[in-house]
Structure 1
Amino acid sequence: MDPRIEERQVRGSDGVTIAARFVTPAKPKAAVLVAPAMGVPQRFYVPLAQWLAEQGMAVATFDYRGMGASRPARLRGFEASILDWARYDAAAMIEELAYRAPEVPLHWIGHSLGGQIPPLVPGHERLDRIVTVACGSGYWRENAPALKRRVWLLWYGAAPLLTPLLGYFPGKRLNMVGDLPRGVIEQWRRWCLDPEYAVGAEPGVRERFAAVRTPVVSLSFSDDDFMSARNTESLHGFYANAPRTLLRIRPEEAGLARIGHFGFFRAEHEQALWQRYLLPALQGAEPEMAATAQASTTTRP
């Protein structure tokens, strides 16, 4: 029997609704919430969600408020922040998915920003496993070399000049991230200009990261044009009291020419990446991937 697909609106505790999509097999053996990257709509993750459902998992994807299918007709003046995305949107999704798939392990897959925010999400204690993909600190001086000039222009030119003028960030027209609410881009800028990212920019965030006890597996890629190895190590270092496994994967080790920041989620990489790396990470196995990943480390507090 094919998994059941349902698109619906999910309401956060503050009353704002967001667009979500659920793919549910008849008898799920686990549940997975896919948290998107900054500016990436949930439709980008549809192939992965379908594949995970075929493996017997109930899967939910969603768009943060002000983004994708959760974008209002007028973005100018729309109030939202990254903290809102975490404490309202992502928290509501954990609650909804746990309701739909009770009494099974509940996992989180976070792409880039989606892997940065679990400590900020009320209810993250319910998660059995966190898998981050192409995720790290956004501190701009530690970004991959190919990106530094572009992010300098973003943080010192486009964002501070255009956002106050237009009331939102017109990233789509600039081919930078995508259109974002003013509160989101301004908060993200503060984070990316701080050497400790959100941990340094927001009071109490260091303690929230340290409070996480859920096992964390990081899948990062040597050819990621956005996240350097230092970005990845920095962000995951703040999970000071969680068991952590960091895997830096070279494309050639997976039999691929390129992975980059977005390639992991492409359907053609089902066998090379999802089956080989993601599935063992979700199942809590010590995967054979650890033997082939560059600079693999396992840290247990």
Structure 2
Amino acid sequence: MASAEVTTQTVRAGDGATVQVRFHRRPDDPSAPVLVCMPAMGTRAVSYTPLAEALVQAGFQVVLGELRGQGTSSVQVRRGVRYGYHEMVAYDCPALFRAVAAAFPGAPRHLLGHSLGGQLGALYLGQEPHMAAGAILVGAPSCHYRGWPFPQSLGMLAGFQLAAAFAAVYGYFPGRRLRVLGNDSAQILRDMATQVRTGRYHVPSSPVDFEPLLAAMDLPVLAVAIEGDPMAPPGGVRGLCDKLTSARVTYEELALGEGAPGGLHYGWIRDNAAFVDRVRAFVDRA
């Protein structure tokens, strides 16, 4: 069995924000493909350690990125701290991918984005597709409410508008207290609520209309929906795929075992054998 060499590096974004990024290397095969993991909303990078370990055993190298405001991020969520899609796509993603390129100069790189991390990673690669050989998007939907079946679609629409309004008044979104996702910036909620309502990745925090960039992204993409996942149903995952009109998209649905740890949206991180097999097959084809 291969053993990983695990190191940590401080990665500094263009606006000065920092995160501690974990590199899971294969000293025996430094040219092995690298998967750059971008977590779900409100989820710490360390949560993906079991997945990273399984991927190393399958022949990959893995980098665990950290979303702004979570885990090791120097940006702490509190009243008065504002960041949104703009800061994460324009500053954080470039810093992460450039650090990975410098650390693994001879290895192909693929985005491995979960949920919001998959959406943000796709927005970034729409601008700089040369930074990756492909993208793996897991439970990563367009959050347009029409991607959810009725009547959940109306709950999705109303819920995010209310959450954004509440966060604006409260100063941030106290997800841990509410037991809904994690704590996050009011601007993130505003950006997400806009995309939920309009279906477009043209959000208040960013001057960039990401829609034509997504359409022009010419990369192989594996999009995985978890069967029964209420946070990323097939309609939502396909909604993001439909924006990638120049990409070579492979869409698959993955069934997890009974009682998957962490629920369906997160259970594949530990119940990962079938997912790892699909990633191996996709990267071998890409």
What TM-score range do you get, normalising by the shorter chain?
0.7 to 0.9
Which TM-score applies when normalising by structure 1? 0.83
Match of 1:298? none
CA contact (8 A) 1:87 1:120 kept: no
Which TM-score applies when normalising by structure 2? 0.87
Quick check: 1:176 aligned with 2:177? no
Q: Matched residue of 2:265: which SS?
A: coil
Change (3 A) 1:75 1:144: farther
Q: Kindly provide the CA deviation profile for residues 222-244 of structure 1, in whole angstroms up to 9, marking residues without a partner as x.
A: 21111222211111111111111
Match of 2:22? 21
Residue type at the aligned position of 1:218: A
1:72-111, aligned counterparts within 5 Å? 72-73=75-76, 75-111=78-114
Quick check: 1:166 aligned with 2:170? yes
Change (3 A) 1:177 1:211: same
Give the deviation of 1:270 after TM superposition.
Answer: 3.6
Q: Kindly provide the CA deviation profile for residues 94-127 of structure 1, in whole angstroms up to 9, marking residues without a partner as x.
A: 1111111112111111111122123432533221
Give the deviation of 1:197 after TM superposition.
Answer: 3.5
Q: Distance in 2 between matches of 1:37 and 1:74?
A: 16
Q: Matched residue of 1:261: which SS?
A: helix
Match of 1:43? 46
CA contact (8 A) 2:222 2:249 kept: yes
Q: Distance in 2 between matches of 1:144 and 1:280?
A: 31
Structure 1: gaps (5+ residues): 286-301
Match of 1:3? 4
Change (3 A) 1:7 1:200: closer
Q: Distance in 2 between matches of 1:35 and 1:241?
A: 22
Q: Distance in 2 between matches of 1:8 and 1:98?
A: 13
Q: Distance in 2 between matches of 1:64 and 1:242?
A: 25
Q: Matched residue of 2:68: which SS?
A: coil
Q: Matched residue of 2:201: which SS?
A: helix
| From 263, 273, 281, the counterpart of 1:271 | 273
Q: Distance in 2 between matches of 1:192 and 1:204?
A: 15
Match of 1:223? 228
Change (3 A) 1:245 1:199: farther
Q: CA RMSD in A?
A: 2.3
Match of 1:55? 58
Give the deviation of 1:189 after TM superposition.
Answer: 1.2
Q: Kindly provide the CA deviation profile for residues 106-163 of structure 1, in whole angstroms up to 9, marking residues without a partner as x.
A: 1111111122123432533221111111121111243256855653553243330x32
CA contact (8 A) 2:40 2:117 kept: yes
Q: Distance in 2 between matches of 1:145 and 1:227?
A: 14
Structure 2: gaps (5+ residues): none
Q: Distance in 2 between matches of 1:177 and 1:271?
A: 25
CA contact (8 A) 2:142 2:237 kept: yes
Match of 2:237? 232
Q: Matched residue of 2:61: which SS?
A: strand
Q: Matched residue of 1:33: which SS?
A: strand
Residue type at the aligned position of 1:85: M
Q: Distance in 2 between matches of 1:50 and 1:184?
A: 30
Match of 1:242? 247
Quick check: 1:134 aligned with 2:139? yes
CA contact (8 A) 2:4 2:26 kept: yes
Residue type at the aligned position of 1:5: V
Q: Distance in 2 between matches of 1:242 and 1:73?
A: 36
Residue type at the aligned position of 1:209: L
Residue type at the aligned position of 1:15: G
Q: Distance in 1 between matches of 2:75 and 2:210?
A: 29
Q: Distance in 1 between matches of 2:214 and 2:15?
A: 24
Residue type at the aligned position of 1:229: P
Q: Distance in 1 between matches of 2:26 and 2:114?
A: 23
Q: Distance in 1 between matches of 2:7 and 2:146?
A: 42
Give the deviation of 1:20 after TM superposition.
Answer: 1.3
Q: Kindly provide the CA deviation profile for residues 3-29 of structure 1, in whole angstroms up to 9, marking residues without a partner as x.
A: 211223201122221221111110231
Match of 1:113? 116
Match of 1:297? none
Q: Distance in 2 between matches of 1:200 and 1:175?
A: 26
